[in-house]
Structure 1
Amino acid sequence: MSNSFGVEIPRIVNEEVFENLCLDLVWKNSKYENSNRNGRRGQRQNGVDIFARERESLNWIGVQCKVKANGAITNNEIKHEIKIALGFNPQLSKLFFYTTAKRDESIQSFIRSEADHHLANRLFDIDILFWNDIEDMLKDEEYTLVHYKYYRDLYTHIEDDGFYFGKLIRLTVGYRIEDTDYELLIGKTFQKGSDSYMNINYWKNVYYIMNFHERTFETFPLPCHESDLEAAFKYRRDRYIITKFINSIPNMDKFIKSTESEFKFILTDQEFQDFLSAYKEE
């Protein structure tokens, strides 16, 4: 599924950064394994900046990275890199050109011609990805983490900027049977760059829960106690159950960011007896 980020992706002009980006794209591609750089700058690379093994065939592929800030990649450049890539060990099954140049029909035609010639002579295949193609990859869900790694400054930093995130859920509770539904928002606020707990900072880096049925709200610590939810839930039994539900979540941050939205928590006989015992003691 394509993920539209709503912004144009700027082309990378730094050669080392672009090579890092290409490596990450190859590494995240499920077709490949053993992805790595070929040596380092200044060493002989035989026309290959990045190499990887195809998972199914176990053949090796190579990637040549070309930054073109303004100009276009040329036929002569391509032909030169193809020639020296013939010396790569072991023999490649395919050589890719990843470039920041814009898509060019004449270059595509040249690549196809060279690929046909190579395959006819039982040499490696050849293909090219222009910046337009790389943009499309970065917008794909498979490469979301790569996109964010190189372009995170284009987006709001929820965790860095003191905002919050929340998760809408439907929670069904009860004793022995499901008897009550709640529609809730569970979330967390964030705090960065300050250790102060004065004024508004007091409410940063805390968990909260909103009960839409009763239009009530409360913050809570971990572990949570029944008394922490008094302002959010009218009925004590339900507060007890929801407290147990919250404390049963192994990682609250991961839970809030997860996609599941339907939950239930039913008290066992022993848990209900524990609740009654605590109620009578008070």
Structure 2
Amino acid sequence: MNDLRTISIPKITDDEKFEFLCRDIYRNDTTYELVELNGRRGQSQQGVDIFAREATSGNWIGIQCKCRASGIQLTKADIQTEVNKAKGFNPSIHTLFIYTSCERDVKVQEIVRNINTANYLKFVVEIKFWNDIEEALKENQNYSIYYRYYNKFFTDNLTLGHAVSKLFNLDLCFNDQFDTHYELMLGKIPNYQNNHHTNANYYRGTYFFVNLTQNLSETFTVPCYDSDLIEVFPNRIDRHRICNWLNELGSIDDFISSEASSHRFSMTSEQRAEFMNDE
């Protein structure tokens, strides 16, 4: 991905969205497992908004989220209150992470150090500021999370008129029994006029299939018919199945932007016989 280290990420000011962001960062970290929100709003949470378990040690951790739209820093009383609540969390936690949307602050760090130095807790307290969240979001492994929460700040390829596509596997079946495997690319050429490429504008507003298995390609519009895919899928029963699969997607655009990369489509023996008889 692009180097995002010098980009300032706008702070989240909504409490619930801030919790979801913290949860998603931990869910994307293979160091942890069983990452969940703790109950729902209004319930007693024992100072823990999110809990998770360290995958290797089995130790439980708690995460307390403090979204401060005003930017006012956490006080000693704020932190101590959450620490005291966390003592009652079951099972006992090994570490309490306090996440705040405030900027890193030396006084708050000192408060947390003093709490840990007092040595009266059965768990360690760590403070994480917005600076730490920014650093986490800018890691390559968290790009999908970054995009999910801040996609409106990204330049859209479709807006620019660039084609977008999805690489995926498609297994064709009869009666749910595997028959044929294809490695494919399905994409869209947006309807965006670019006067520098007048001749190519003929293809604007269309979709394209690339059959990587057989090194073939074709453009088409929706709804798609078997006859639109003759060049890309020479085998007529495969072409018919793929066309049916395509039309059942609902939204090709949503499919292109989805994360799943392996798909299946099955036809019954009766449907196959009916198709062959019609031919």
Q: How high is the TM-score relative to the length of structure 2? A: 0.61
Where structure 1 has 5 or more consecutive residues not aligned to the other structure, the ranges are 168-185, 193-198, 210-218, 227-252, 255-282
Q: Does residue 22 of the first structure (1) align with residue 44 of the second (2)? A: no
Q: Does residue 129 of the first structure (1) align with residue 128 of the second (2)? A: yes
Task: Say if 1:144 and 1:224 are closer, same or farther in 2 by CA, change over 3 A.
Answer: farther
RMSD: 3.5
Cα distance in 1 for partners of 2:7, 2:189 equals 26
Deviation at residue 105 of structure 1 after TM alignment: 0.6
Residue 145 of structure 2 is matched in structure 1 by 146
Cα distance in 2 for partners of 1:201, 1:129 equals 53
Cα distance in 2 for partners of 1:160, 1:34 equals 39
Cα distance in 1 for partners of 2:86, 2:186 equals 53
Residue 163 of structure 1 is matched in structure 2 by 162
Give SS of 2:33's match. strand
Residue 110 of structure 2 is matched in structure 1 by 109
Cα distance in 2 for partners of 1:98, 1:67 equals 8
Q: How high is the TM-score relative to the length of structure 1? A: 0.61
Cα distance in 2 for partners of 1:2, 1:99 equals 27
Deviation at residue 163 of structure 1 after TM alignment: 2.3
Residues 67-216 of structure 1: matches in 2 within 5 Å? Answer: 67-69=67-69, 70-117=71-118, 120-121=119-120, 123-159=122-158, 162-165=161-164, 188-191=187-190, 200=201, 202-207=203-208
Cα distance in 2 for partners of 1:46, 1:5 equals 36
Deviation at residue 113 of structure 1 after TM alignment: 1.8
Deviation at residue 129 of structure 1 after TM alignment: 0.7
Residue 62 of structure 1 is matched in structure 2 by 62
Cα distance in 1 for partners of 2:120, 2:5 equals 43
Deviation at residue 29 of structure 1 after TM alignment: 1.4
Matched residue count: 198
Counterpart AA for 2:84: K
Deviations 1:221-266 (A, max 9, x none): 486749xxxxxxxxxxxxxxxxxxxxxxxxxx99xxxxxxxxxxxx
Cα distance in 2 for partners of 1:122, 1:5 equals 36
Deviation at residue 121 of structure 1 after TM alignment: 4.0
Deviation at residue 191 of structure 1 after TM alignment: 3.6
Residues 201-240 of structure 1: matches in 2 within 5 Å? Answer: 202-207=203-208, 220-221=218-219, 225=231
Counterpart AA for 1:57: S
Where structure 2 has 5 or more consecutive residues not aligned to the other structure, the ranges are 167-184, 192-199, 211-216, 220-227, 233-254, 257-279
CA contact (8 A) 2:165 2:186 kept: yes
Residue 13 of structure 2 is matched in structure 1 by 13
Q: Which has the larger radius of gyration?
A: 1
Give SS of 1:33's match. strand
Give SS of 1:16's match. helix
Cα distance in 1 for partners of 2:230, 2:103 equals 55
CA contact (8 A) 1:32 1:52 kept: yes
Give the share of equivalent positions with the same residue, in percent.
Answer: 36
CA contact (8 A) 1:2 1:140 kept: no
Deviations 1:80-139 (A, max 9, x none): 10001100000000000011011001111111121232xx34610110110011001111
Cα distance in 2 for partners of 1:5, 1:189 equals 31
CA contact (8 A) 1:67 1:100 kept: yes
Deviation at residue 30 of structure 1 after TM alignment: 1.6
Residue 247 of structure 2 is matched in structure 1 by none
Counterpart AA for 1:8: S
